[in-house]
Structure 1
Amino acid sequence: MAYQALYRVWRPQTFADVIGQTAITTTLKNALITGQTSHAYLFCGPRGTGKTSVAKILAKALNCRHLEDGEPDNTCDLCVAINNGSLTDVIEIDAASNNGVDEIRDIRDKAKYAPTSAKVKVYIIDEVHMLSTGAFNALLKTLEEPPAHVVFILATTEPQKIPATIISRTQRFDFRRITPQDIVDRMKHILDEKGITYDDQALLVIAKAAEGGMRDALSILDQVLAFGQDHVTVENALDVTGGAAVTQLGEYLQHLADHDTAAALTTIEQLLASGKDAGRLIDDLIGYLRDLLVYQQAPTLVNDTASALQDTHFKALADSFAPGQLYHMIAVLNQTQGQLRLTNSPTLYLEVATVQLGQPAPTQAAAPVAEAEAAPAYSAAVTKLEGEVSRLTQLVQNLQAGGQTPAAKPKPKAKPVKVNKAQIYPVLGAATKHDLEAVRDIWPDLLSMLSVPDQAMMKVSKPVAASPEGVIVSFAYDIFVERASNDANLLAALKDDLAKLMGSPKQIVLVQQDEWPRVRKAYLAENGAPHAAPQPAAVPPVVKTMTDLFGQDNITIKND
């Protein structure tokens, strides 16, 4: 017989065999014992966590002739037929390739017929989120009120894509990621049964790479066994998963702690040259830093499954790095991880990240100095304000005693903002309504491209006129006109982003909002209004009376 993968050979056959989903299996067993099973179930969760396996076990339990304590016996004819895949009354469908309306209508029509040999007809629809909208609608009524002899079991990794009307007609069970310790225990059981020796550390490496999926863990274990059949070693596990040894991670971080960037770069180069995966390397580093951070705050939370504790550098690094440094390093690595997805040169980004990690965190030295410098100034400002408040309070009391009220202090007149007619008039001369509407349409997008401080300043602005070569922007406050006019970086960003959005460069002229009507009026007085629209002819009184009585839309005017 051809070789079968471990995850197929060791697929759970009873609820007791399912790893890491005790709450779900206990609930289903109790429902089977009391006869309170549902007509439809929805199994959600990450890949490889047991959704399809539990669905098949439930199908066997619903049909088993000798059900004991909610568990199928796996010896009766129906259980054996389901295990062999020969029972026609248990139908397993892959919605990824059967997602049309016709396939679901076929299910709906055949569900009406009684099972041929089983007690209950069971439909297992895997990756149900792949069904089309029409297919979901076709399934809806049958799912709500199926025949008494039919049970639907839906499985998916993306429940958010399933309509709420479908979810509300099922019993939902959320499968959790399996813990590394449970994965390790299961692999130990399998290897002991097969008579294969192993290193505990190697199993930890595999469990970490599986990311909570038992099927992924067994697939990786299969590859490691093929790499070296007699013994599962740490080296083989690292080679297969593309991970780095814990000691290498510790050495790399120790170089960074010593600010020996050259040695850290050499370590990265050696790891990548030996075939280590860049993404997996960053995952391992982030996990190591996480263990350091947790160990500093609560050592007992870093249990024996944490591979970092077996590294000789671990405790020394926990004493060397401050929490702020660890936050900074995790943030840099997380950013680099996102960049690796968009590049074919991971070495470049890892080297840049290494140099960045070798430098002190920005807030590490600056924060205490800034606080020390700010303290005297803050204290002096508070003392000055307290004295001013005391003086004003005394003045008010003296005035009230004399029967007087303090006169309101006149507001200073706003400093007039100089209007640059040499820039505004050419734009007004060629301005069109079409150009202005085009600029207004992209204005929100333009502001979103700016930095947060620049966005705050430009929130009080709006385009008021535009031509093919320029845009006039008005500000609600003259102070912002002055600041924006003196901010060369802001003006350059506005011009560049506007050119990107409009497809051509435009000059940007700033004006104060209250000043804009006067500027426009002055331009019209000096240059006329060549583009002014013709004024409508005066409406005769009798026509106005008729329009008021019957409405504008019901009146037709004809000139004889």
Structure 2
Amino acid sequence: MAHMALYRAWRPQTFKDMVGQQHIVQTLQNAIREDRLSHAYLFSGPRGTGKTTAAKVLAKAVNCERGPATEPCNECDACRRITSGAVMDVVEIDAASNRGVEEIRDIRDKVKYAPTEVRRKVYIIDEVHMLTTEAFNALLKTLEEPPAHVMFILATTESHRLPATIISRCQRFEFRRVPLSEQVERLREICGEEGISADPDALGYIARLSDGGMRDAVSLLDQIASFTGGEVTLQGAVDATGGLPADQFVRMAVAIRDQDAAAALREIDEMMQAGKSADKCLEQLMHYFRDMLLAQLAPDAEGATGRAGDPAALAQAASGFSRERLFAVIDHLNRYQTEMKYAAHPQTMFEIALLKLCSDGGATAVGGQAAASAAPAAAAGADLQRLQQQVAGLERKLAELARTGVAAGAAGNGGPGDAGGSRVGGAGSARSSTGTAAGAGGAAKAPLRARVKVDPFLAAKGSPDALQALGKWPQAMQRVKEERVTVHAWLVDGEPVSYADDTVLVAFRNSIHRETTEKPANRQVIEGVLSAVLGRPTQLATLLQKEWQEALASADNSGAGREEPEVLQLVPDDGTGSQSEPLIDEALRLFGEELVVIRED
């Protein structure tokens, strides 16, 4: 047989012919045996692992004249015609070229008709992730409630691009990359049947190049067998696939080890003269150093040998490098491989990568890694020291406030006055923040966070004014996004929960989002938008969702007859809207922040 059609000749025709997907085969066979077939399947996984093949085998199994059977006979008229694609009721569609809504509508109109040639209609949609949004919407209803005589099989390499509504209506099967040992065994079987002489090292090299895809492995074997005239050797496989000879890898590694820039440039020139591409050469060189590292760290591991062959030669080459330097070289080559994708002159980038390795031996990469690992530790130490200083400062303030008789709750957010959720750290009004700062007796240099009582928001929750104000929140969010998208990104974590006294209370799931939203510049943007949307000056107050839930639970448990503590209310004495700060200071000193409410009438 000519070698030009190996894959077509060896394409699986039954479930038992499929390699590396036993978990899927067993599940489908049990479903057929127990008559529990689904109306829709989703086959996802890497290319060349048998998704479309499994779909055709399943179509034959359910429509076999001797079945439904766990294995199609491939002898009856239905099986043979489905294999050749001559059955109108088994339709294979390439969604990459038929991705529009009209093609899917055509399917939707035809599924209602009963099959005319076989037992069950089967629609195989390959590369289904290429369908448009409109096509998915047209397919959705049909997938949800198809007729009993119809089966859909969707195949894709990128299941993450499918809408969740489509995935939820299918039984999903994840096809795996075929293990190296099973690929080599299958290739050896094919070579035996086809009369091809193949070295085990060459078959292993082909299997590694295929990256777990059995289809690619058979195609490579076909290509190499044609190139070598039926004698598949490792050297012939390397030449046919455009790889680099093992001795060239060794010479390149020696040049890097000895920091011989001239030798490295000669090797690069030889590669380019042979027609190799710079990016592929860099990729293969990185794999070679990876194999050297494995030869050092895991010499006895199964499958540890890489694409370049002899494990003994790898171990000998690796003996000239330390583990740290091998790690550094791999990291260095990987970074340059990423940069090479966007380079106008890839060969120049390849040369620079090797010259840098030859000039400093990868010390830069090692130093960069050490610096990167040391930076988090230094940052953590600085944060710890700063926190310790803040705690010491708070302790001094509490001691001073205790001596002056001011309530401990005025000293910070963590005092006893916070218990029960009656007050939350938020952005209250500027009026409260002025009084709070004054209540600290002037000892605190940094301004304290303004605080606001939750009780007014609990009382106003569900009122007409609150519902009207909160109903305009989506409009406010859109305005914030238009004005400053970064502020919108932080604010989207919050949820408006109440509105009272011209203040919108927003509950956040994450404390980081809350703290960033409260920054003066961000708060100014949000309050400006709220004032514009609601038509009156409006302020923002924030808290965490768990604090709001605790406040709601506390209000429910206490009942409507809960007595409010007596408070001292201070009003302006001159009618101009400005408050007498000395009077406020004295009130806070005598009664404490918990019992003082500053109110403007």
**TM-score interval for Structure 1 and Structure 2 normalised by the shorter chain:** 0.5 to 0.7
Distance across 2 between alignment mates of 1:96 and 1:443:
37
1:361 counterpart letter in structure 2: A
SS across alignment from 2:262 = helix
Distance across 2 between alignment mates of 1:363 and 1:305:
25
- Residue in 2 that maps onto 1:265: 265
Contact 1:210–1:216, Cα closer than 8 Å, also in 2: yes
Contact 2:197–2:231, Cα closer than 8 Å, also in 1: yes
- Residue in 2 that maps onto 1:200: 200
**Structure 1: segments with no counterpart, 5+ residues:** 372-377, 383-388, 390-395, 397-407, 413-439, 445-459, 463-560
1:189 counterpart letter in structure 2: E
- Residue in 2 that maps onto 1:362: 364
What per-residue deviation string (whole Å, max 9, x for no partner) do you get for residues 377-398 of structure 1?
A: x9xxx9xxxxxx9xxxxxx9xx
Distance across 2 between alignment mates of 1:166 and 1:339:
37
Distance across 1 between alignment mates of 2:100 and 2:238:
43
Distance across 1 between alignment mates of 2:2 and 2:89:
28
What per-residue deviation string (whole Å, max 9, x for no partner) do you get for residues 49-80 of structure 1?
A: 11100000000011112249711111111111
Contact 1:127–1:156, Cα closer than 8 Å, also in 2: yes
SS across alignment from 1:320 = coil
- Residue in 1 that maps onto 2:20: 20
Q: 1:179 to 1:278 in 2, by over 3 A?
A: farther
Distance across 2 between alignment mates of 1:220 and 1:442:
51
What per-residue deviation string (whole Å, max 9, x for no partner) do you get for residues 304-347 of structure 1?
A: 75345615542233333223212221122112212332235332
Contact 2:287–2:307, Cα closer than 8 Å, also in 1: no
Q: TM-score, normalised by structure 2?
A: 0.59
Distance across 2 between alignment mates of 1:9 and 1:309:
29
Q: 1:365 to 1:153 in 2, by over 3 A?
A: closer
The RMSD of aligned alpha carbons is: 3.7
Q: Any residues of structure 2 matched to 1:325-474 within 5 Å, and which? A: 325-358=325-358, 359=360, 360-362=362-364
Contact 2:39–2:150, Cα closer than 8 Å, also in 1: yes
Contact 2:328–2:365, Cα closer than 8 Å, also in 1: no
Distance across 2 between alignment mates of 1:291 and 1:30:
42
Q: Any residues of structure 2 matched to 1:264-283 within 5 Å, and which? A: 264-283=264-283
Q: TM-score, normalised by structure 1?
A: 0.63
2:310 counterpart letter in structure 1: Q
SS across alignment from 1:212 = coil
SS across alignment from 1:5 = helix
Distance across 1 between alignment mates of 2:138 and 2:347:
51
Q: 1:461 to 1:247 in 2, by over 3 A?
A: farther
Q: Any residues of structure 2 matched to 1:298-309 within 5 Å, and which? A: 298-303=298-303, 306-308=306-308
**Structure 2: segments with no counterpart, 5+ residues:** 375-380, 386-391, 393-398, 400-440, 446-482, 488-518, 522-601
- Residue in 2 that maps onto 1:100: 100
Q: Any residues of structure 2 matched to 1:544-555 within 5 Å, and which? A: none
Q: 1:218 to 1:344 in 2, by over 3 A?
A: farther
- TM-superposed CA distance for 1:363, in Å, is 6.6
- TM-superposed CA distance for 1:159, in Å, is 1.0
Q: 1:277 to 1:219 in 2, by over 3 A?
A: farther
**Structure 1 residue 121 and structure 2 residue 118: aligned?**
no
Distance across 2 between alignment mates of 1:304 and 1:68:
44
Distance across 2 between alignment mates of 1:363 and 1:350:
16
Contact 2:4–2:223, Cα closer than 8 Å, also in 1: no
Distance across 2 between alignment mates of 1:262 and 1:91:
60
- Residue in 1 that maps onto 2:290: 290
- Residue in 1 that maps onto 2:165: 165
- Residue in 1 that maps onto 2:231: 231
- TM-superposed CA distance for 1:3, in Å, is 8.2
Q: Any residues of structure 2 matched to 1:145-164 within 5 Å, and which? A: 145-164=145-164
- Residue in 2 that maps onto 1:451: none
Q: 1:56 to 1:110 in 2, by over 3 A?
A: same
SS across alignment from 1:203 = helix
SS across alignment from 1:115 = coil
- TM-superposed CA distance for 1:247, in Å, is 2.9
Number of residue pairs the alignment of both structures matches = 396
Distance across 2 between alignment mates of 1:270 and 1:211:
27
What per-residue deviation string (whole Å, max 9, x for no partner) do you get for residues 500-519 of structure 1?
A: xxxxxxxxxxxxxxxxxxxx
